[in-house]
Amino acid sequence: MSYDEIVNIMHLCGENPDGLVFHGAGAYGAPQPSDASMHLVQLAKNYSPEKPLYVAAIGAITNIATAILQYPDIINRIVLVWLAGNDFDDSPNVYNIYQDVKSAQVVFDSGVPFIHVPCNYVTSHLLTGIPELENCIGRKNALCDYLVENVKKYGENHFAWGKQIWDIGVIGYLMNENFSSCETVSAPILTDNITWSRDYRRHLIKNVKHLDRDAIFRDMYKKLGNLEA
């Protein structure tokens, strides 16, 4: 379903998905080889610690964990930006982690350069609503109309309602360093019980503490509206 939706979005953008979209793992629960993991390995081989490949991840981390296990040297060639769990003083028991705990543990333990983008209290405030969407991107192009209608379906039975667009937090971080603020912390340990444990001797990662909601949405609306699809 994810593959089909990505292909659909590519078409709405006026882009040919051939050679750009790859099937990932067929199931969650443990790392497993796929076209997507193999493509990431091959892509990363063209990069170096001095000029790494930035990898944006917005769901379960199965494909990237598999790539790390297939080709451990990948951790010296990529920087991972992942919408993962909540902030480290909150529970990690959220969708992108509990779908595949084993793969998440691989990533947190691997030492890969890692920017953790939390859900609650960080991307959770990336909210929008139907009036704003219609005003900013309504009738701009086929993709914009599709996205507006998608959000309408979520909120059709709600009053005074806003929709979190969680995933754009990862892209917002990558778009402009002024869109976010971070802290540097030791990588937490993700336990089998889906809790955080801490050992402050572990390798360091970045943890996003704040995202500039308005700046990210303005940037996204301008880019979506200028598509020539």
Is 118 part of any domain?
A: yes
Could you read off the pLDDT of 10-27 as tens digits, one per residue? 999 999 999 999 999 998
The percentage of residues in the chain with a pLDDT greater than 90, rounded to a whole number, is: 88
Could you read off the pLDDT of 47-89 as tens digits, one per residue? 999 999 999 999 999 999 999 999 999 999 999 999 998 999 9
Q: Where are the alpha helices (DSSP H) in the chain?
A: 2-12, 35-44, 62-70, 95-98, 101-110, 130-137, 142-155, 168-175, 213-225
pLDDT value of position 142 = 95
Strands (E), 187-228: 189-190, 196-197, 204-211
Is 135 part of any domain?
A: no
Is 13 part of any domain?
A: yes
Is 150 part of any domain?
A: no
Query: Which domain does 35 fall in, by range?
Result: 2-126+165-225
Number of domains in the chain: 1
Residue 112, pLDDT > 60, answer: yes
Is 148 part of any domain?
A: no
Is 73 part of any domain?
A: yes
Please state the pTM of the whole predicted model. 0.94
pLDDT value of position 156 = 78
Is 213 part of any domain?
A: yes
Residue 14: how many other CB atoms lie within 10 Å: 12
Is 147 part of any domain?
A: no
Residue 12: how many other CB atoms lie within 10 Å: 17
Could you read off the pLDDT of 117-174 as tens digits, one per residue? 999 999 999 999 999 999 999 999 999 999 999 999 988 778 888 999 999 999 999 9
pLDDT value of position 228 = 60
User: For residue 195, what is the domain's CATH number?
Assistant: 3.90.245.10
d(CA 79, CA 170): 12
